[in-house]
Structure 1
Amino acid sequence: MARTRVQLTFPPSLIQEPIVYRLVKDFDIVINIRRADVKADCGWVILEMEAGEDTLARGVAWLKGKGVQVDPIESDVIA
């Protein structure tokens, strides 16, 4: 199993969509939400994701295809 940390930034058009739920349900990726800030017009979530490397790559590609900005994070995000 591979593990990665990412920040997902959502455009206004996706704020009401169950993007994180679909990531878990459709790709069988285990997530841990480390931080999040979601408002009516924008939002971001910092996730730890764990799955096989191919599964993670497919999940990230799907997120990008939906219009979510995906940025890798190297350090711990709990402050």
Structure 2
Amino acid sequence: MFTFSSELATHPVIYNLGMQFGLVTTIRQANVTEEKGWIALELEGDEEDIEQAIAWVTGKGVRVDPADDLMQD
């Protein structure tokens, strides 16, 4: 789960994750308000690329928490 401030809502963070790190991103759930937003995001790709992407997005100010129990097909 990615939690972010409203300032980041206008930036293409998810797009950049896919492009810069070669990941497939799938939005499973999301909620955005004027104050903050959260996205349950599935990331597919090499484990090393996923780890680098999480470090990158965390550096941008996004809080990242595991969301394994939210979406099981």
Partner of 2:42: 48
Give 5+ residue unaligned stretches, structure 1. Answer: 1-6
Higher helix share: 2
Higher strand share: 1
Secondary structure, aligned partner of 1:72: coil
Give the TM-score of the pair, scaled to structure 2.
0.88
RMSD of Structure 2 on Structure 1 (CA)? 1.4
Do structure 1's residue 31 and structure 2's residue 29 form an aligned pair?
no
Cα offsets for 1:30-56 (capped at 9, x unmatched): 111110011222111001111101100
Give 5+ residue unaligned stretches, structure 2. Answer: none
Displacement of 1:76 = 3.6
Give the TM-score of the pair, scaled to structure 1.
0.82
Structure 1 runs of 4+ with >4 Å offset: none
Secondary structure, aligned partner of 1:25: helix
Secondary structure, aligned partner of 2:2: strand
- Residue identity over aligned pairs, in percent, reads 38
Q: How many matched pairs? A: 72
Query: Which structure has more RCO (C-alpha within 8 Å, separation ≥ 6)?
Result: 1
